[in-house]
Amino acid sequence: MIMGKVFCDQIRVIEWRKSCDYNLDNHFDIWRIYIPDHLDMLDHLSDTLSEEELNRFNNYKDTEDRNRHLLARYFVRKISSDYLKVDPNSFEIDYLENNKPYFKYYPHFNFNISHSGDYIVIGFANRWSVGVDIEFMNSQLDLYDMIINCMSNYEISMILNSEAPRAVFFKHWTRKESLLKGVGLGLTDRIKDVACVDGLNLIPSDLSSFASSWKIWSFEMGEYCVSIAHDSAVRIIRFYQL
């Protein structure tokens, strides 16, 4: 049986740059956007987003959720246009079977979006699929059922015996999410079988359609936990603050 190989580790220190050359090569570029800094743009998004996108997100009942989705879609277009040197209005977004978005006429340009609370995180890569996930580590949320239902037995033991169980849970949860988004599976009812502990993890063959090995890196931003996943062929990861 061929098992998918996933190596997980943590990043302790990150330099968030403010200047980008917009040359991806074989890089994996991570961008973070602090939503409160850009709320004044909401009234001008109709110049860039399609009518379908505006209607879709304007129907959200929760205002903060609506704003996150609108700004995330705007910034993925804006930043992508700088990489591809095209008009941001020229992008036509389509969806894969698992609802993963992509640019219809730029199939080799890959991006992945995640947002939570006050932050949006977007990952970009040329040729290589990538996945990102950010979660606000809500101290009021009861995690017990999610720990039991979504974590492997080893992960459950690690989380419940940790001095910081909430942080350890979110580290493993964002790793699973970023990997599944990156390889194009989406969430699965067998998420317990996708172990993402530090070091090497073997994923069952029926859940690992990826031929090469993957790497996942985790880090914290204050009350947020972030994980980024990429094919091991990617050699350089760069971090940018919009």
Least confident of 7-16, 96-105, 107-116, 155-164: 96-105
Higher pLDDT, 162 or 212: 162
Residues 225, 137: Cα–Cα separation, whole Å = 7
Identify the band that residue 209 occupies on the pLDDT scale cut at 50, 70 and 90: low
Q: Which helix (H) or strand (E) holds 6?
A: strand 4-10
The sheet that has 224-231: what strands, in order across it?
Answer: 130-136, 224-231, 214-221, 4-10, 199-203
Q: Is the pLDDT of residue 96 over 80?
A: no
- For the record, the structure tokens of 13 come out as 């220190």
Q: How far is CA 94 from CA 86, 91, 104, 107, 191, in A?
A: 18, 10, 6, 10, 26
pLDDT, one tens digit per residue, over 173-187 is: 999 999 989 888 766
Residues 193, 75: Cα–Cα separation, whole Å = 34
Higher pLDDT, 97 or 65: 65
Angle in degrees, 0-180, between the axes of helices 51-58 and 63-84, rounded to the nearest 10: 150
Residues 115, 68: Cα–Cα separation, whole Å = 7
CA-based torsion, 228, 230, 232, 237: positive or negative: negative
Q: Closest by alpha carbon to 177, among 21, 1, 8, 3?
A: 8
- The CA radius of gyration of the chain, in Å to the nearest whole number, is 18
Q: Could you give all domains of the chain from N- to C-terminal order, each with its CATH number? A: 4-241 (3.90.470.20)
Q: What is the pLDDT of residue 187?
A: 64
Identify the band that residue 95 occupies on the pLDDT scale cut at 50, 70 and 90: confident
b/e map 31-56, b = 16+ CB within 10 Å: bbbebeeeeeeeeebeebbeeebeee
Q: What is the pLDDT of residue 190?
A: 79
DSSP, residue by residue, 134-188 = EEE--TTS--HHHHHHHS-HHHHHHHHTSSSHHHHHHHHHHHHHHHHHHHT----
Beta bridge partners of 29: 124, 238
pLDDT, one tens digit per residue, over 19-78 is: 999 999 889 999 999 999 999 998 888 778 878 778 888 788 899 999 999 999 999 999
Q: Closest by alpha carbon to 221, among 8, 69, 11, 76?
A: 11
